[in-house]
Structure 1
Amino acid sequence: MKIVSAKPFTYRGGNKAVLLLHGFTGNTRDVKMLGRYLHERDYTCHSPLYRGHGLEPEELIHTNPENWWQDVLNGYHFLQDEGFKEIAVVGVSLGGVFSLKAGAELPVKAVVSMCAPVRGKNIDRLWKRVLDYAERYKKLEGKNEEQISTEINELKKTPMHSLREIQQMIDHMNEKLSLISSPTLVLQGGLDDYLYTESARVIYDNLKTKYKRLKWYEQSGHIITLDKEREKVYEDVYIFLNGLNW
């Protein structure tokens, strides 16, 4: 079966721009419905696809956080080149980390961080996530169990050396939270792993911006943009962005 690859997307709307960022081993589908929701309300939305994502896992393992951050920067500059002077950055999971990083290092209108970790997972858990992604991808390709097992065993012989870089980047983000001065909304699923629920509190407590808010979704897990309460997530992001002085 041929998999239709995820792609970057741009929804051109009004003069308020939003950069939408997906998660690790995810793709732009993580934030596509949110992008449509905001576009219907006159926002221009752009979402880059990080290198190696939405492709065969054999492609993913040869990329790294530096590549992905450059893709974020390229997305930010794309919106600038389109003429937008004020850009809000909204991300889920690793995209949430990148949205915080953007808030600390770039001039942004606002930050929305959803289910972002600021305490890095151990290497084994990160590697398991890659292998789980590999299994899902190969099932979608229509491969049988024996073939999938053979290919994953082969994949294990070429580990993803950048996993430690991911861990370090997440840990270092914790030190940069005090640099964020833009209005910031922190959203977190109540059913998410403890690492993320604890990170949400750490993010909120360490932000120095005067305009910050932490909101929970008790029936949602990790990718809250696709979970049971997604419509409420979209509405809350819109209300937050619309309350800014653009």
Structure 2
Amino acid sequence: MSVCSLPAARHAVLMIHGLGGTRHDFGSLDRKLEESGCDVYLPSLPGHGSSPDQLNDVSLADYMQLLSKTYRELLARYARVDVAGISMGALLALMLCARERVTRGRLILLSPPLFLDGWNGSPLQPLRYLLYCVPGLRHLIRVPEGEPFGIKNARIRNLIRRHLQKGSGVHYPYVPLSAIAQVDWMRFAVKRALHRVACRTLVVHSEEDEVTSIRSAEFICKHLGTRDVTFVRLTDSYHMITLDNERDTVAARTLDFVARGDVLT
């Protein structure tokens, strides 16, 4: 059903998944938001939901075109539209709120990877910038989804591993280097756009994140255009905080943030 065909309501949440991911990136958070009375929209990003190689043809502009269109359609139907993103989706959520000058809603950032400096990063990681300079190479190199899959909890990590081995579509088993290049471009663009974010913001980040250190969250909180920021530090999760040991804490803090008071006018 298209956004425009839906009846008018009060409150929607636009949720943005991560690179190579699906709505499953959020665990049960989307369902809990719906149970709390929100209408949830979780579009599949361009290049997702089919084959990882489809990401070779996707740019940051493609992501933003879809998200801006969806956000504007929702804004025409709802009194309030919140934007939530996890991992790469958090970077896109930041850019969307900066571009659209969001005030009739709130921003929820889960594990935003502004810096790719987590403890599981390879010391050779910076060499990717040299690879970007070789014509066509970024489309040929595949970056596998490897352990620990963003998950500290051993039981859940085993479930993720089995899903990837079976090719169940929960997450891409690899992404082309060209997709990582787009994330790098997003990181640089977000740094320049932070001061334009004026809406109330929740940032949730783990101190044990293997992809992006807590420095990302601290930098974002310091440089946002709004001073109305709630920062939640986690201590027993890796990158995918909506699926890991503290998923119930993430859900509770998100629901509380969404429910608390009115949006800025």
Q: CA offset at residue 123 of structure 1?
A: 6.7
Tell me the residue number matched to 1:197.
Answer: 214
Which amino acid in 1 is paired with 2:72? H
The answer to whether the Cα contact below 8 Å between 2:142 and 2:177 also exists between their aligned partners in 1 is no
* CA offsets 1:86-111 (integer angstroms, 9 cap, x no match): 21101100111111112212143111
Tell me the residue number matched to 2:109.
Answer: 113
How many residues matched? 223
Taking a change above 3 Å as real, the CA distance of residues 167 and 104 of structure 1, as seen in their structure-2 partners, is same
Taking a change above 3 Å as real, the CA distance of residues 21 and 129 of structure 1, as seen in their structure-2 partners, is farther
Query: What is the alpha-carbon distance in structure 1 between the residues aligned to residue 27 and residue 112 of structure 2?
Result: 18
1:139 aligns with 2:152: no
**Structure 1, unaligned runs of 5 or more:** 1-7, 143-151
Q: CA offset at residue 160 of structure 1?
A: 4.5
Tell me the residue number matched to 2:198.
Answer: 181
Structure-1-length-normalised TM-score:
0.78
Query: What is the alpha-carbon distance in structure 2 between the residues aligned to residue 72 and residue 218 of structure 1?
Result: 32
- Taking only aligned residues, the RMSD between alpha carbons, in angstroms, comes to 3.3
Query: What is the alpha-carbon distance in structure 2 between the residues aligned to residue 219 and residue 13 of structure 1?
Result: 40
1:84 aligns with 2:78: yes
Q: CA offset at residue 65 of structure 1?
A: 2.0
Query: What is the alpha-carbon distance in structure 1 between the residues aligned to residue 234 and residue 89 of structure 2?
Result: 18
Query: What is the alpha-carbon distance in structure 1 between the residues aligned to residue 233 and residue 142 of structure 2?
Result: 24
Q: CA offset at residue 195 of structure 1?
A: 3.0
1:36 aligns with 2:62: no
Tell me the residue number matched to 1:64.
Answer: 59
Matches within 5 A, 1:1-246: 15-31=10-26, 33-81=28-76, 83-108=77-102, 109-119=105-115, 122=126, 124=128, 130-132=143-145, 139-141=165-167, 160-161=177-178, 163-193=180-210, 195-246=212-263
Q: CA offset at residue 193 of structure 1?
A: 2.5
My pick for the range that moved more, 24-33 or 38-47, is 24-33
* CA offsets 1:170-200 (integer angstroms, 9 cap, x no match): 1121121111111011110221036342111
Query: What is the alpha-carbon distance in structure 1 between the residues aligned to residue 233 and residue 112 of structure 2?
Result: 13
Which amino acid in 2 is paired with 1:33? S
The answer to whether the Cα contact below 8 Å between 1:12 and 1:39 also exists between their aligned partners in 2 is no
The answer to whether the Cα contact below 8 Å between 1:116 and 1:196 also exists between their aligned partners in 2 is no
**Structure 2, unaligned runs of 5 or more:** 118-125, 133-137, 147-160
The answer to whether the Cα contact below 8 Å between 1:13 and 1:39 also exists between their aligned partners in 2 is no
Q: Secondary structure at the match of 1:75?
A: helix
* CA offsets 1:106-154 (integer angstroms, 9 cap, x no match): 1431111111122367474997874338x98873249xxxxxxxxx9xx
Taking a change above 3 Å as real, the CA distance of residues 196 and 74 of structure 1, as seen in their structure-2 partners, is farther
Query: What is the alpha-carbon distance in structure 2 between the residues aligned to residue 123 and residue 139 of structure 1?
Result: 29
The answer to whether the Cα contact below 8 Å between 1:69 and 1:98 also exists between their aligned partners in 2 is yes
The answer to whether the Cα contact below 8 Å between 2:15 and 2:40 also exists between their aligned partners in 1 is yes
Query: What is the alpha-carbon distance in structure 2 between the residues aligned to residue 212 and residue 141 of structure 1?
Result: 39
Query: What is the alpha-carbon distance in structure 2 between the residues aligned to residue 233 and residue 138 of structure 1?
Result: 24
Which amino acid in 2 is paired with 1:213? T
Taking a change above 3 Å as real, the CA distance of residues 173 and 204 of structure 1, as seen in their structure-2 partners, is same
Query: What is the alpha-carbon distance in structure 2 between the residues aligned to residue 92 and residue 12 of structure 1?
Result: 28
Taking a change above 3 Å as real, the CA distance of residues 12 and 192 of structure 1, as seen in their structure-2 partners, is farther
Which amino acid in 2 is paired with 1:104? A
Which amino acid in 2 is paired with 1:179? R
Structure-2-length-normalised TM-score:
0.73
Question: As a proportion of its length, which structure holds more helix?
Answer: 1
